Amino acid sequence: MMNISQLKALQQFYCDELQRHATFHTPSNFQLSLQDFLFAQHQRVTDLLDKLL
């Protein structure tokens, strides 16, 4: 199990990746699937942090 500081760093990583892959144009199917994955991972880490805090 990861500790809280590791989970917070991972949460920030997914947040940064989502920001990096954001687009002002219509996203491609690949971008949509990548964003879905990043959102799911971000939510998973956030849920783990909620349980620990």
Mean pLDDT of the chain: 89
Per-residue pLDDT tens over the stretch 17-28: 888 877 778 888
Where in the chain are the domains?
4-17+28-52
- Per DSSP, the three-state class of 30 is helix
Neighbours of 38 (CB within 10 A): 19
Q: Is the pTM of this model over 0.85?
A: no
Average pLDDT over residues 32-38: 92
